[in-house]
Each structure stands twice: as structure tokens, then as C-alpha cells.
Homo-oligomer: A and B are copies of this chain.
Amino acid sequence: MRLHRLKRLFVGSPLPTAQARHERLSKVTGLAVFASDALSSVAYATEETLLVLILAGSAALSYSLPIGIAIAVLIAIVVSSYRQTIRAYPRGGGAYIVTKDNLGVFPGLVAAAALLIDYVLTVAVSVAAGVAAVTSALPALFPSRVWLCVAAVVAIGSANLRGIRESGKLFAAPTYLFIGSLLGLIGYGAIGAIFDLIPEAPYQPHPPGLEGIGLFLLLRAFSSGCTALTGVEAVSDGVPAFKPPEAHNARVVLGWLGAILITLFLGITFLAYDLGITPQEHETVVSQLARRIVGSGAFYYEIQAVTMLILLLAANTSFADFPRLSFFLARDRFFPRQFGTQGDRLVFSNGIVILGSLAALLLVTFQGDTHALIPLYAVGVFISFTLSQASMVRRWLRRKEEGWWWRACINGVGALVTGVVMLTIAVTKFSHGAWIVVLLIPTLVVAFLTVRRHYQEVAEQLSLEGYEPPPITNSVLVLVGDLHRGVVRAIQYAQSLSPSAKAVYVEIDPERTHRLEERWGKWGLGVPLIVLTSPYRSLLGPLLEYIDALQEKGGENHVVTIVLPEFLPARWWQQLLHNQTALLIKGQLLFRKNVVVTDVPYHLKH
């Protein structure tokens, strides 16, 4: 009861099913809702590239420019590719559904596993980066960052358990503030650079070719920067949320999103180059950039604040995506069915709780450090990109709809490029943490298949097809250890179930049996008393033997009902003061076939 009240406090009162309604998004609010995940990654993508490059010395930092351009091209390819997906799946084309549809169940499950992992990491990475934005501005909070991260996850999780229905309005302000502020910062920085208003200190030009860095490190830097692409797929997952014409609006929004993402990412990468910014442990690259361009005034703090907000919104999107994918998996019986039901606030509570717990665990394990989490991050994303685009190729080839030839080309290029990037990430970051994901995905797929097989077997065993229910018989026994009001009530109850109910007493001390038998005449209410002897003072042994004998006599459809008198004290600690016999008996009888245990509680007043 007290737990119940606690839940209401955090989660709110239940909502009736009739309140479920679908808010339709305009292009402007749609961009706000779906952009946060993708755009927020510019807060860390440039920094992650620089962090790898600096391993080869500061002379290698200027490789960030060609890498940035390569990633911008990649963004353009992936966005074009997903615009095809939106056309083909106007009802929403998440990687799991698209892959299962076109490539089959097994690749679909691989995509699902990759996505589930990815959603957990989106929460962890975004929250860690959001807290880094805060601690860059307020270095005094740096030592408490792990707690801040966990607090943020708890806050976002609780908000989602309540159900966030005002999502459009909620998302619009921070997203557009973030876009506006960063565009302003980049524009101001560019003007400053052109008119020499800000002291420039560009990185040294990198030596020709791969001198002094090596291909592997360069690819690792590229892999790290590819986190800029995370979240690009969100629009195509959520097509039905747009106002009609849904597919058209979604495609327009995805186009805008790609353009803004490329602008912000390239702008930050270029300015970091031009101002010679190097990654620092206690301050993010974006924070350094802002300080250098606009100084440590109000605008600086505004930039840090909206960066934090958009990162928390990005984390928040996973709290919608993870439970939704879990729901699809549960509907297809690959996931425990608890994930297939909505809670009393119309949200999928189990998915939210699991996601929050896993993300919090990751944040504590990795000490809230974005850089440590990044190597785990992008593998899953690119696996789902590749599978999703490859599915589209298969689809065009099969359906041969209008323009199938060049559409298949676009998706084919997308699949090829993301596949190569996925392998690059897996190889270059394998030893830095990607191995965890590479091992986890097949493990999850095996788990999905095991769960599915179990549900199928249960359904077969419970199927009513061709079932002829055998008639059952029933004998009722009251287990008596003493004589008091609770026992008398249980005897009455047993009589109400069956006129031939019997009472059973296990004798441990013959003297007590004698006293019980004397009082039985008055209080036994005519129910016959059967006394079982127990040489080992065990209550259960003789009882089990007696039940066995009854069942042997009654045949395989004879049910034995054991009525247990139990008194319930008014306070929980008082329960400890009584023999836990009832619990013990229930535990032992639970797994016996054709035995039903019925507690008859007698409620004490104090």
C-alpha cells in the first residue's frame, strides 16, 4: 500500500485508455521532435575525432578537416538513402521492421539487437555529454559528474513513466534555440575569422599523405567522428506522426535535418581548426570554442545550457524508441510479454525502467565519461543503417516500382558505404570497447530465439485444439496444527468446499495429539481427524506420503486441495514471530502435480 502511494507520487494517477490520442506534427514541430538525437551529436563528434588524432601528436590535428568533409559526405548519402525509406514505408520504417520484411527474421533480429544496444548507449552518451557541457561551464561540479548523470537519467525516466504528451511544444524551444545559438556562434566565428577580429591559431598543416599518423589511426579518428550520424534515422521511424501528407513532410524535414547537421558539424570542425582548439579533460571543445569566440558572458552560458538541454532531449528520444522496439519484439514473441503491455499511464513502463537502469549502470561503470563510451556507440547504429539500406535495395529489386533502378542505386550506395564504415568502426575500435557490442549482438539474437521457442512450446502445450478435458475429482484436507479461531474458520471453509472434507494432523508429540483429540469433539464441527505419525518431527514427510496415497487411489485426475489455516498479524514484523510453516508447505507443494494449496487467512487486529 505504501509502495503504491510512492508509485503514484512519481508516476501520477492512472490514465484511461480513451485518453490515448495521436498528436500530429507540423514540419516545424516535427523537425524539433526528431532532430534532437541527430543534432545533439555535434556536441561531441568533432571532439572525439580530435581526441584520436592527438594521439599522433598535435601535427596530426589538422587531419580533422578532410575527415570532417568525409563525414559530411557520409551524412548526405545516409540522408538521401533514408528519404527513399520514408517513401516506401509511410507507416514508419524502423530498421527491425524494414529488415524483417525484406531480408527475413534473422537479419531483422540482428538489427533489433543492434538498435536496443544503441538506444541504451544513446542515453548514456547523451547524458554524459550533457553533463560535460554543464561541468565545462561550472568546473566545480566536475567531481560530482557521475551523480549528475545518474540524476539526469532518473529524472528523464520518471518523466517518461508519467508519459510526456506535450512533446511537440516541449521539444521545439530547446531544439531551435540550439540550432539558432550554434549557427550564431559559427557565423560570428566565421566573420571574426574573415575580418581578423578573433586571434586565429590554426593547427599546423598535416604532412603529405599519411605521414606521421598511419592509416589505422586515421580510420579510428574517422570512426569516432561518425557518431555525428547517430539519430539520423529517427525521422524515418516516425513518419506516421506527421500531418498529412506524412511521407512528403517527413522527407522535407529529413532534408532540412541533413543540411543543418552538415552545417553545424562542418562549422564546428572548421572553427576548432582555425582557432587551434585542442581537447581538454575538464572542458569540451564546443565550450572552448564558445569561450574563445564570444567570451565567458551570458551568450556562452546560454550555449552551454541549450547544449545540455538538447543532449537530454536526445536521451529522452531513446525512452520512446526503446520501449516501442521492445513492444514490437514482444508482439512477435521474441521478447518477454511484459514489454507488450502499457502501464496505467499509457506508457510502456517496463521498457522505460529497463532502459533507465541499463543506462545508469553504464554511466556508473564508465564514470560518466563520454570518451570511454564512444567506442561502444557507433557500431550498433551502423549495423542498423547497413541492414536497413540493404533491405531497401532488396525491396526495390523485388517490387520494380516506378524509378526502382535509380532508387535501388541510392540505397545500394548507402548500404555499401555504411557497411564499410561499420566494419571500419568495428575493427578500429574493437579493442577499445566495440568488442562488447560485437559479442552482445549474437547473444541477444540467441536470447530472442530462445524466448520465441519457449512461447511457441507453451502455446502448443496449452492449445485447446483437440483437447478433451478429463473430468476431475477433488478431495479437501484441512491441515491442523492446533485448535484456535483461525483453525475453526478453516474447517468451516473446507466444509463449504466439500461435504467430505477431512482434517489432517501430523503428530510430533503424542501428548499434544491426545489433548487435540479431546477438544476435537467440540470444535471439529463433525469433520473427521486423521492423525499421521512423524518419527523425524517433520511436518512435510508424513503429509506428502498421505497425499501420494490419496492420489494413487484417486487416479491421475484426482486433485488434492490442502486448506491451510493461517493467521495474519497486523504488523509486518509480527509475521517473523510465527512459524513459517505455511510458507514452507506452500513451497514444497508448489511443484507437485494435482495439488492445490489454499490459505485461509484469519486477520488479527493488533
A residues contacting B by CB (< 8 A) are: 14-18, 336-338, 341-342, 344, 451, 454-455, 457-458, 461-464, 467, 469, 471-474, 483-486, 488-489, 492-493, 496-498, 508, 519, 523, 525, 535-538, 559, 561, 567-569, 574, 576-580, 590-591, 593, 596-606
Contacts and interface: CB of A to CB of B under 8 A. Distances in A.
B485 A463 contact: yes
Given A464-B519, A497-B561, 10 more contacts: A336-B576, A336-B578, A337-B577, A338-B580, A344-B537, A451-B577, A457-B606, A462-B602, A597-B598, A598-B598
The 4 closest A-B pairs by CB, nearest first: A462-B484, A14-B536, A474-B496, A16-B535
Contact of A485 (B342, B467, B488, B598): B467
A474 B580 CA distance: 27
B472 A535 contact: no
Given A523-B464, A569-B458, A596 B598 contact: yes
Given A15-B536, A579-B341, A567 B472 contact: no
A464 B488 contact: yes
Contact of A462 (B18, B457, B567, B576): B567
Contacts of A597: 598-599
A463 to B, nearest CB: 7
A497 B483 contact: no
B485 A462 contact: yes
Nearest to A470: B492
B497 A17 contact: no
Contacts of A591: 568, 603
B462 A486 contact: yes
Given A344-B537, A474-B496, A496-B474, A525 B17 contact: no
B492 A469 contact: yes
Contacts of A497: 474, 497-498, 561
Q: Oligomeric state, in number of copies?
A: 2
Nearest to A486: B462
B559 A604 contact: no
A576 to B, nearest CB: 6
16 contacts: A15-B536, A17-B537, A344-B536, A344-B538, A454-B569, A454-B577, A455-B577, A457-B604, A458-B604, A467-B485, A469-B525, A471-B492, A472-B496, A568-B591, A593-B603, A598-B598
B344 A493 contact: no
Q: Which of A344, A451, A598, A605 has the most CB of B within 10 A?
A: A598
A580 B471 CA distance: 29
Contacts of A561: 497, 598
A569 to B, nearest CB: 7
Contacts of A464: 483-485, 488, 519, 523
B590 A601 contact: yes
A605 B493 contact: no
Contact of A461 (B458, B488, B605): B605
A37 to B, nearest CB: 30
Nearest to A598: B598
Contacts of A600: 596
B469 A489 contact: yes
A538 B486 CA distance: 32
Nearest to A485: B462
A200 B597 CA distance: 78
A538 B14 contact: yes
A17 B485 contact: no
B537 A342 contact: yes
Contacts of A18: 535
Contacts of A576: 336
Nearest to A340: B579
A336 B535 contact: no
A463 B492 contact: no
A577 B340 CA distance: 11
A535 B14 CA distance: 10
A559 B463 contact: no
A579 B525 contact: no
A581 B511 CA distance: 45
Nearest to A491: B469
A322 B338 CA distance: 48
Given A454-B574, A538-B344, A596-B598, A489 B472 contact: yes
Contact of A559 (B467, B486, B493, B537): B493
